[in-house]
Amino acid sequence: MKLAEYCNSSPTYIGEIEVGKKFPSIDMIEKISAILKIKPYHFFIDRTEQNDDINTENTYPKLPRSMQNEIRKGLNFSIDELIRETLEKY
């Protein structure tokens, strides 16, 4: 209930996020992570692994598949651009 109060949201909405019925906006993710004093990406890491290695296939397990694909495409594009810029320098 306090989290909802701090986020200026309803306890029902926060509860629906917690049980996976609703997916929060980016703004809400940022609010919640700031209140909990964690980085937003922590919400999307599959912590069921027994070791500390993060499996990149399970990095965003709670996101809808379309969003997972969009993030991967964006990351791949950014990596390709960085490699291209680096190769151009040398």
pLDDT reported for residue 10: 93
**How confident is the prediction along the chain (90 residues), in pLDDT tens digits per residue?**
788 899 999 999 988 888 778 888 888 888 988 988 888 888 777 666 555 555 555 555 566 666 667 777 777 777 888 888 888 877
pLDDT reported for residue 69: 72
Q: Domain range for residue 37?
A: 2-89
CA 69, 72, 78, 83 dihedral sign is negative
How many domains does the structure of the chain reveal? 1
**CATH number of the structural domain spanning residue 37:** 1.10.260
pLDDT reported for residue 9: 93
**Confidence (pTM):** 0.51
